[in-house]
């Protein structure tokens, strides 16, 4: 059992490499959502995203998402009443990535 465990551990150790970056190097970052933080949107937009344009990061390597523009408004009827939804264009995102958000959350 121990030999099998050591063999399995040695594989990632052999293929792991330390990468160093210099100022000015271009890198591709992957961004994933965190619980308790304003997210990019709902459902499909929670998947990981790749950022290629320049974004200003703070000391904690995060950035603020702020609503840039309201593109559309609709009313969703449910059994319990109506919910007003706004299609919001967030900063650092394209129009195709605009998300439907509840109006109460945007106030």
H helices of the chain, in order, are 2-15, 103-106
Per-residue pLDDT at 92? 79
Q: Taking 60 as the threshold, does the pLDDT of residue 87 lie above it?
A: yes
- pTM: predicted TM-score of the whole model, two decimal places: 0.46
DSSP string, the chain: -HHHHHHHHHHHHHH-------TT----EEE---TTS--S-SGGGGS-EEE-S-----TTS-----EEEEEEEEEEEETTEEEEEEEEEETT--GGG-EEEEHHHH-
Domain boundaries, the chain: 2-106
Per-residue pLDDT tens for 27-86?
887 766 555 454 444 455 555 566 576 777 888 888 888 889 999 999 999 888 999 999
Q: Taking 50 as the threshold, does the pLDDT of residue 98 lie above it?
A: yes
Per-residue pLDDT at 21? 87
Q: Give the containing element (helix H, strand E) for 32.
A: none
Per-residue pLDDT at 8? 82
Per-residue pLDDT at 97? 85
């Amino acid at each position: 059992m121990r030999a099998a465990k050591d063999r399995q551990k040695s594989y990632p150790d052999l293929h792991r490499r330390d990468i160093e970056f210099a100022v000015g190097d271009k890198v591709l970052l992957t961004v994933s959502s965190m619980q308790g933080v304003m997210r990019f949107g709902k459902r499909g937009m929670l998947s990981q995203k790749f950022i290629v344009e320049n974004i200003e990061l703070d000391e904690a390597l995060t950035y603020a998402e702020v609503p840039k523009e309201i593109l559309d408004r609709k009313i969703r009827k449910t059994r319990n009443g109506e919910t007003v939804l706004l299609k919001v264009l967030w900063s650092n995102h394209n129009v195709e990535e605009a998300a439907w958000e509840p109006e109460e959350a945007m106030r």
